[in-house]
Amino acid sequence: MTFSALVNAYAADLYRYGFWLCRNQAQAEDLVQETFMRAWKGLDGLKDSKAAKAWLFTILRREHARHYSRPSLDLVSMEDMDFESQHFAAPGSDGVAEMEFAQTLDALPLEYREPLLLQALGGYSCEEIAGIMQIKSGAVMTRLFRARQKLRASLENEVGERKIK
Amino acid sequence: MNCIDIRRILAATPASREPDVLRHLQQCQSCARYAESEKALSTHIDKLLNIAVPDRLTFRIMLQQRLAEEKRFRHRRGYWQALAASVVLTVGLVAGMLVVNHPYSLGEVALAHVRDEPMALQVEDNIQLSQLNNLLVPYNLKLQQAIGRVAFAMPCRIRQYTGAHLVMKGEYGKVTVLIMPGEYVMARKMLQERELQGLLIPTDGGSIAIIGQAHEPLTAIEARISQALIHTV
């Protein structure tokens, strides 16, 4: 796979991943540029073009950690989660305030936000995310669950407020 | 798997295709509704994450890579030249090192360069005059006025020198302009190869190749460039 083909195929996804990691456009652009520079230098080592995407995401993730990492937070075990309290109404059916939703995503600790980004933007499975993040697959599920739970609560609050008004 | 197991999986991975999950969803309406609500949440998350990407991101990445490539080339060339010079000095053949014979003509190289860089023809940027002039600074060149819509501009190495690779909007398609300092030709020359046609034009410090599709009026672009391009030293 040529360098320009890599750029054309993955620059947009990497930018979005970088943006939602650091929440800053300029930093996200720097991250993507740095990622591709490192990729260019190591392109000879990429034997399998199918691995290119995960390779690039991993480089960006490391670059982000190198420049902007923050201390981690404690996690709740998957076993302790209360499934009974979940509401199953489809969210956003009558329109949702994107800003509030974005703020909720923005407020998620990086530990929760990151697997969600890898799942949604990278299209990775729990096992693949576990490989990229160097954590156990069960921990990925826990983090994904918590991230989605918070986003769902944000959506349902918004829908509820609209109904009251 | 019971409902709690299924929902545990769906809450983290709503797109799960695990056979056990799919089988359960066919039999349990409550979990099927839950799966739908998780999919709806995913759609909402996808929409939120799908922010606009800066227009010139790809261009900047490619530019950075080209500059790094050029730096690497210069570094290597500097090393080998230094090594070669020391050897040559010992045998008294310094002058011989300055003569470079190329197996292909400059016109052939220019046409091949256009063919080998199809990506350049796909970029749809709108490069401003100031950005073009920034690109031309290392070659002591400057455009005094706009030369038309430039969709791509990047430094490129052609044979042993770096020049500027521009892509402009022509009348019938994209037109490539290669500004090649240090690459001299004796006289203005027409280029032709399959579907491509071009002009190779001698300038003070080197040459310029203008290459487009057949029937493209290249002389109009040539006139605009000749009028605008000046040496700064």
Does residue B138 register a pLDDT over 60? yes
- Whether this prediction's pTM lies above 0.80 is answered by no
State the pLDDT at residue A84.
Answer: 39
Q: Residues 6 or more apart from B138 whose CB is under 8 A from it?
A: B155, B162
Closest listed residue to residue B137, CA positions, set B153, B158, B121: B153
Least confident of A5-14, A120-129, B42-51, B78-87: B78-87
Interface pTM (ipTM) of the complex?
0.76
Whether the CB-CB separation of B214 and B203 falls below 8 Å is answered with no
Mutate to test the interface with B, among A1, A15, A38, A56 (most CBs of B within 10 A): A15
Q: Is A9 exposed, middle or buried (0-12, 13-18, 19+ CB in 10 A)?
A: middle
Note whether B29 contacts A: Cβ–Cβ < 8 A. no
Mutate to test the interface with A, among B61, B63, B64 (most CBs of A within 10 A): B61
Higher pLDDT, A1 or B227: B227
Does residue B136 register a pLDDT over 70? yes
- Chain B: residue whose CA lies nearest to A35: B61
State the pLDDT at residue A104.
Answer: 85
Residues B205-223: pLDDT tens digits?
A: 899 999 999 889 999 999 9
**Chain-chain contact of A92 with B44 (C-beta, under 8 angstroms):** yes
Of B4, B40, B49, the CB nearest to A16: B49
Angle at which helix A110-120 crosses helix A137-164, to 10 degrees, equals: 90
- Chain A: residue whose CA lies nearest to B32: A88
State the pLDDT at residue A93.
Answer: 40
Q: Residues 6 or more apart from B194 whose CB is under 8 A from it?
A: none
**Chain-chain contact of B45 with A116 (C-beta, under 8 angstroms):** yes
State the pLDDT at residue B175.
Answer: 96
Residue B62: list chain A partners with CB under 8 A: 4, 7
**Chain-chain contact of A91 with B46 (C-beta, under 8 angstroms):** no
State the pLDDT at residue B78.
Answer: 67
Least confident of A30-44, B70-84, B103-117: B70-84
- Residue A2's pLDDT band (cuts 50, 70, 90): confident
State the pLDDT at residue B69.
Answer: 76
Q: Is A2 exposed, middle or buried (0-12, 13-18, 19+ CB in 10 A)?
A: exposed
**Chain-chain contact of A98 with B48 (C-beta, under 8 angstroms):** yes
Three state DSSP letters for chain B: CCHHHHHHHHHHCCCCCCHHHHHHHHHCHHHHHHHHHHHHHHHHHHHHHCCCCCCCHHHHHHHHHHHHHHHHHHHHHHHHHHHHHHHHHHHCCHHHHCCCCCCCCHHHHHHHHHHHCHHHHHCCCCCCHHHHHHHHHHHCEEECCCCCCEEEEEEEEECCEEEEEEEEECCCCEEEEEEEECCCCCCCEEEEECCEEEEEEECCCEEEEEEEECCCCHHHHHHHHHHHEEECC
**Chain-chain contact of B7 with A86 (C-beta, under 8 angstroms):** yes
Residues A72-115: pLDDT tens digits?
A: 433 434 444 333 333 323 344 444 456 777 888 888 888 999 99
Residue A7: list chain B partners with CB under 8 A: 58, 61-62
| Phi, psi for residue A88 in degrees, rounded to 5 | -110, 15
State the pLDDT at residue A142.
Answer: 92
- State the Cα–Cα distance between residues A71 and B223, nearest whole angstrom: 61
Does residue A6 register a pLDDT over 50? yes
State the pLDDT at residue A97.
Answer: 57
Residue A83: list chain B partners with CB under 8 A: 4, 7-8, 11
Share of residues in chain B with pLDDT > 70 (%): 86
Does residue B145 register a pLDDT over 90? yes
State the pLDDT at residue A157.
Answer: 72
State the pLDDT at residue B76.
Answer: 66
State the pLDDT at residue B87.
Answer: 63
- Chain A: residue whose CA lies nearest to B51: A16
CA dihedral sign of residues A12, A117, A21, B67? negative
- For B:33-62, CB contacts with A below 8 A are 33-34, 36-38, 40-46, 48-51, 53-54, 57-58, 60-62
**Chain-chain contact of B62 with A4 (C-beta, under 8 angstroms):** yes
Q: What is the mean pLDDT of residues B110-129?
A: 86
Shortest Cα distance from A7 to chain B (angstroms)?
7
**Chain-chain contact of A36 with B48 (C-beta, under 8 angstroms):** no
Shortest Cα distance from A48 to chain B (angstroms)?
22
Share of residues in chain A with pLDDT > 90 (%): 31
Residues B51-109: pLDDT tens digits?
A: 888 877 888 888 788 777 777 776 666 666 666 666 655 554 344 334 445 557 899 88
State the pLDDT at residue B26.
Answer: 92
Of A32, A96, A145, the CB nearest to B11: A145
Q: Residues 6 or more apart from B201 whose CB is under 8 A from it?
A: B185, B188, B207, B208, B209, B210, B222, B226
